[in-house]
Structure 1
Amino acid sequence: MKKSLVFAMAMALGVSATAFAANPFSDLPAGHWAYGAVAKLAAAGVVDGYPDGTFKGDKTMTRYEMAQIVAKALAKGAIGADDKLVSEFADELDNLGVRVAKLEKNADAVKITGNIRTHYKHTTGDFGKTSESKTRSRLFFTGEVNDNWHYVGMLENNQTWNNDGKNDSGDNDTSFQRAYLTGNIGVVNMTAGRYQGTYSEGNVYDTRVDAVNANTKFGATYLGATWGKMANLDTFSSNYKKSKAGEFTQAVLGTDIGNLNLEANYIHAKDINTKWMTGTDNIWTAAANYKAGDWKIGAMYLHGDADDKVDVSDGKKQKFAEPDNDGWVATLAYKGATASKPGSWGLFGKYYDQGGATYIAHTMNGNYDAFGPDGFKGWMVGGNLTVAKNMVAQVEYYDLKSKGDFNGYKDGDHNKTLWSQLVVTF
């Protein structure tokens, strides 16, 4: 590394080559093109000469020597923490005791990350055959408010192609879908705004909420509560209007006992209007998950208490159906793909038996809402693989059935779904 890099740095700092300063080096003549810049840097304490009073501008520098100059420039305020030199010599600066991590934190007051997911979904069964392809792009903006609080926003674009003859050329939409603050007040961690709300492992609800959440830990035990409004449900009501839900409250209590996690959840949701349920629903869940090496096994019991029957009128006369209130889910998983580790992989499977009152917006990629208020039962299997760093492929297969006879649906009607996706993060 030539000393000319130091001259270039001096120019980048805005130090004039004609700036007047006393010459501290015997081998740097006053007529040299870099005389003023080097003299100014020396006067500021950014560069030092050799013990014999020379600068030796043609001598090759080591990375360590250059890092010393960068460290001094930082200390003097000659360059900022966001300068590329700080990133380039981060390891050497760390060895010199310079708080690079803190400097980088301050430099990156706003970070932009994102992911792109492309998926293909194919569904067959007693209700017909459909397929869908979609590419979803997300950009996350994280801004530092102070040491305790951050702002997070998310911009999402979706491009969808269906085989229904209506949008074979592809539908496109872009929207600002998340905006929230996250931080802590003492030992209480808080999130407020529009964010992703996932409750009871997604078996009850997994989509956006406009809410305030507070949670804290007491050793191995944790307690949390949420109040707000459910937003942007992804299913449709029986009258083909967008599903919606009103105010909701949620509470969770959990604890870890060695490799065993125990958790209880409660959700009280008002003004629900999904495909098979309207009114208010109270849902309780109790779950246990145990890890043994690379294996994870889990079980969950769910109970719903919907106060309204579902209007299933056929246009001739008004008919009502009572949603089924009980359900359970079993989970088994082995390992799992990690985006930062190419070649890592995992396998997983679930069995569902859920009544219509035990879910509002399920996390699964199967067509769980194709059945009536009695709910659904069935299984899924899947696997994932990190094909390259930050590139994870996943495949899932669902075989779901109706739990009851209702309005043309038969007990045991099938709905099979193949889901495949590739997620690239950056």
Structure 2
Amino acid sequence: MKKKIVTSLAAVMAVGAACALAANPFVDVPTDSWAYKSVVELADAGVIQGVDGSYFQGERNITRYEAAEMVAKAMAHMDKASVEQRALINKLADEYADELNNLGVRVSALENRVGNVKLSGDARIRFQHQSSGESSGNDGEGYKNDASWDYRVRVRANAKVNDRTTVTYGISTDDINFADNGTASDNKNIFTDDAKVDYNFGGDHWNLSVGRIDTYVLGGENAYGFQYGDVFDRAELKYTNDHFAATAGYGKFKAGDTVEAAAVEGNGLLGVKTGYGELEGFFGGGRAAGSAAGVYYNDFNGIKGFEADDLWGTYASLNFGKWNALANY
């Protein structure tokens, strides 16, 4: 087992190595040993340290914790590995999951491993009751019987390309009414509502996000300001640290129930372009930790019938232990 682990990890650590083999740090590993090359590469990469800094003690059985420690260090070099080598590290991480957890390496965090694709999704069935005659989009008769029920299904795929780049793709159905007599094979209501690339750089403080999102939110993470549950194509740059965040972006509203329905009435967001910006400050300690204040602004390039143009707002969110006070203007 030890031979398999050492040679496997050495193969990963040697990825992209162009320099000559480093000097042997262990006095008890002869140059004619089957493990010589692998041991030297692992030592040079910092995966193994040996015993007392001078001895490898290759005949001694290693513990599972020692093996897990080597796996954890190999995980830190995932960006150098090929697809096959990443699969090997993932397999070893699964084998030593308990030991890695005890060493403080959260195996659940391996969802962020390079080359890993995570699938998720949700389904919603909704009942809406209104008295007859209230607005419903159902010829003025209100929601009743099958018209009171609708459903929506969404599927998401998140892929970690490398340590800094993540790709997200998602599809969704519209809110489909149970009163709709369309067949199950009718896919006209399925569309791409999420397709974006996120690139993190600048010491993990800067994030560039380009592509499509399913919800447009501005004015705090909890949507203190504007929120439209519609598809929005945009390019966005954001800077964040522990005390401050600045966001700037530009995009265009696309498909979506609210957008399209409003567009039919002549005042919707379909096709509307907007440049936007947001400044936020984070403060507080103890019970007040997580408090924030910010300002946000939208410059809409309106279309005929869309009345809003320059929209702005400000908010403050103050935490008091289990209580929160929110002010928004």
* TM-score normalised to structure 1 length: 0.46
Q: Does 1:80 align with 2:88?
A: yes
Answer yes or no: is the 8 Å Cα contact 1:142–1:152 preserved in 2: yes
Structure 2 Cα separation of the partners of residues 289 and 102 of structure 1: 30
Deviation at 1:151, TM superposition (A): 0.9
Structure (1 or 2) with the larger CA radius of gyration? 1
Deviation at 1:68, TM superposition (A): 7.2
Structure 1 residues 271 and 81: alpha-carbon distance in aligned structure 2, compared to 1, 3 A threshold = same
Aligned equivalent of 1:199: 218
Structure 1 residues 67 and 174: alpha-carbon distance in aligned structure 2, compared to 1, 3 A threshold = farther
Aligned equivalent of 2:239: 216
Structure 1 residues 291 and 67: alpha-carbon distance in aligned structure 2, compared to 1, 3 A threshold = closer
Aligned equivalent of 2:79: none
Q: What secondary structure is seen at the aligned counterpart in 2 of 1:190?
A: strand
Deviations 1:329-370 (A, max 9, x none): xxxxxxxxxxxxxxxxxxxxxxxxxxxxxxxxxxxxxxxxxx
Deviation at 1:152, TM superposition (A): 0.8
Aligned equivalent of 2:149: 133
Q: Give me the identity figure in percent.
A: 22
Unmatched tracts of structure 1, length 5 or more? 1-5, 14-42, 46-52, 54-63, 302-426
Letter in 1 for 2:211: G
Q: What secondary structure is seen at the aligned counterpart in 1 of 2:302?
A: strand
Answer yes or no: is the 8 Å Cα contact 1:71–1:98 preserved in 2: no
Higher strand share: 1
Higher helix share: 2
Aligned equivalent of 1:18: none
Aligned equivalent of 1:255: 281
Deviations 1:218-266 (A, max 9, x none): 5522221111212224332474577513221111112133234222111
Aligned equivalent of 1:341: none
Name which of 271, 280, 285 aligns with 1:245. Answer: 271
Letter in 2 for 1:270: N
Name which of 304, 315, 318 aligns with 1:287. Answer: 315
Unmatched tracts of structure 2, length 5 or more? 9-33, 37-58, 75-84, 136-140
Cα root mean square deviation, aligned = 4.3
Deviation at 1:136, TM superposition (A): 2.1
Structure 1 Cα separation of the partners of residues 181 and 200 of structure 2: 45
Q: Does 1:188 align with 2:206?
A: yes
Answer yes or no: is the 8 Å Cα contact 2:71–2:93 preserved in 1: no
Q: What secondary structure is seen at the aligned counterpart in 1 of 2:163?
A: coil
Letter in 1 for 2:234: A
Q: Does 1:299 align with 2:327?
A: yes
Deviation at 1:123, TM superposition (A): 3.1
Q: Does 1:268 align with 2:268?
A: no
Deviation at 1:65, TM superposition (A): 6.6
Deviation at 1:269, TM superposition (A): 1.0
Deviations 1:60-81 (A, max 9, x none): xxxx977878888998x79812
Letter in 2 for 1:285: G
Structure 1 Cα separation of the partners of residues 192 and 108 of structure 2: 31
Q: Does 1:119 align with 2:132?
A: no
Structure 2 counterparts to residues 13-412 of structure 1, below 5 A: 80-83=88-91, 86-93=93-100, 95=102, 105-106=112-113, 108-124=115-131, 126-127=134-135, 129-130=142-143, 131-158=147-174, 160-163=176-179, 167=181, 173-186=189-202, 187-195=205-213, 196-200=215-219, 201=223, 203-206=225-228, 207-217=230-240, 219-235=242-258, 236-237=261-262, 239=264, 244-258=270-284, 259=288, 260-272=291-303, 277-278=305-306, 281-301=309-329
Deviation at 1:296, TM superposition (A): 2.3
Structure 1 residues 44 and 175: alpha-carbon distance in aligned structure 2, compared to 1, 3 A threshold = farther
Answer yes or no: is the 8 Å Cα contact 2:300–2:308 preserved in 1: yes
Answer yes or no: is the 8 Å Cα contact 1:81–1:106 preserved in 2: no
Answer yes or no: is the 8 Å Cα contact 2:238–2:248 preserved in 1: yes
Aligned equivalent of 2:50: none
* TM-score normalised to structure 2 length: 0.58
Q: What secondary structure is seen at the aligned counterpart in 2 of 1:123?
A: coil
Structure 2 Cα separation of the partners of residues 209 and 78 of structure 1: 34
Q: What secondary structure is seen at the aligned counterpart in 2 of 1:262?
A: strand
Greater mean deviation of Cα atoms: 99-108 or 111-120: 99-108
Letter in 2 for 1:264: V
Structure 1 Cα separation of the partners of residues 277 and 125 of structure 2: 34
Letter in 2 for 1:292: F
Letter in 1 for 2:274: F
Q: What secondary structure is seen at the aligned counterpart in 1 of 2:94?
A: helix
Number of paired residues? 243
Letter in 1 for 2:94: S
Answer yes or no: is the 8 Å Cα contact 1:138–1:157 preserved in 2: yes
